[in-house]
Amino acid sequence: MLVRLADEHATGALLRDHGTLYLADGRVVHAESPAAPGIDILLTTGGRLSRADWEEAVDRAGARRTVGRFLVESGRLHEGELEICHVGALFDAAYFALTPGGGPTRFRHGAQHWIGPVRPVPAAAVAREIARRLELLDSVWPYPAVDTAPVTPRAPSPGQVVTRGQHALLSLADGTRTPVALARALGRPAFHTLLDIRRLAAAGLLETPDEPAAAPATVPSWVATVAADPDTALLRRLRDALEESL
């Protein structure tokens, strides 16, 4: 439906169970999802805007659907800052909205979002990015149960290191927060959080939920056999260490 709406230069809201995409003249101008921190969280939790500044922008410009323009014209954000943050939030929410299994698709003609025009994105570019992200996650750790399960860290092996972003995740992971909750707490895009979570799972640094006995269709059968072994994480670390020493 997204491709058809783009071809028709449609304007309105594409609604699915896990999110909404807003189109103007067939291009995607905004996206939001309950699973992805919105642009307000990315800007305020990240420290670029105060919550009071954001609320003032919504109060003064929301009814005119020009919140983005107000933030720039009032000097609260540079135009480039707004565009980068907005596009990041758009792709983040679109990933969850368009992921397969997201329920029925509906379109509300003429609907507009209150943030207003920032930088439209071609629908084909959004579709390509969603496909790329799905493949990337699968290549890192092909078991999506970790995407929604509470995150419980495991003690690292001697000498095992993590990135600064992964350390921030692990410091807040208490066995109750899910990846989406961690993303909101940190003011980070949800997809990047999922990617770090899967990398940590692959490195054996997280407790992982029980996975289906059968491997995904895209994964060779030998991978399923290894993944069922409780020493899988150790074997991966040994492999990585051997490769680094060659």
Average pLDDT of the chain, as a whole number: 87
Give the pLDDT band (50/70/90) at residue 196: very high
Counting the structural domains of the chain, the total is 2
Q: Which of 108, 137, 166 is the last residue of a domain?
A: 137
Q: Which of 5-19, 133-147, 150-164 has the lowest mean pLDDT?
A: 150-164
Q: Does residue 97 share a domain with residue 12? A: yes
**Backbone φ, ψ for residue 206 (5° rounding):** -135, 150
Burial of 159 (0-12, 13-18, 19+ CB in 10 A): exposed
Residues 103-145 have pLDDT tens digits of: 789 999 999 999 999 999 999 999 999 999 999 999 999 999 9
Q: Does residue 66 share a domain with residue 101? A: yes
Residue 159 has pLDDT above 90, yes or no: no
Give the pLDDT band (50/70/90) at residue 212: low
User: Are 61 and 69 in contact, with CB atoms under 8 Å apart?
Assistant: yes
Q: Does residue 155 share a domain with residue 117? A: no
Q: Give the β-pairing of 12-16 and 19-24.
A: antiparallel
Give me the pLDDT at residue 240, please. 44
Q: Does residue 46 share a domain with residue 126? A: yes
Q: Does residue 131 share a domain with residue 22? A: yes
Q: Which of 137, 163, 188 is the last residue of a domain?
A: 137
Q: Does residue 212 share a domain with residue 107? A: no
Q: Give the β-pairing of 27-32 and 12-16.
A: unpaired
User: Are 143 and 211 in contact, with CB atoms under 8 Å apart?
Assistant: yes
Q: Does residue 47 share a domain with residue 109? A: yes
- State what percent of residues in the chain have pLDDT above 70: 85
Residue 23 has pLDDT above 80, yes or no: yes
Containing structural domain, residue 115: 2-137
Q: How far apart are CA 70 and CA 61, in angstroms?
A: 7
What sign does the CA torsion over 36, 142, 123, 7 have?
negative
Q: Does residue 230 share a domain with residue 149? A: yes
**Backbone φ, ψ for residue 23 (5° rounding):** -115, 145
Q: Which of 137, 153, 179 is the last residue of a domain?
A: 137
Interhelix angle 190-202/123-140, rounded to 10 degrees, is 20
Q: Does residue 6 share a domain with residue 71? A: yes
Give me the pLDDT at residue 46, please. 82
Instruction: Record the tokens describing residue 114, joined without a space.
Output: 């209150």
Q: Does residue 119 share a domain with residue 8? A: yes
Q: Does residue 230 share a domain with residue 150? A: yes
Q: Does residue 181 share a domain with residue 94? A: no
What value does the mean pLDDT take over residues 164-192?
95
Residue 101 has pLDDT above 50, yes or no: yes
Q: How far apart are CA 1 and CA 52, in angstroms?
A: 38
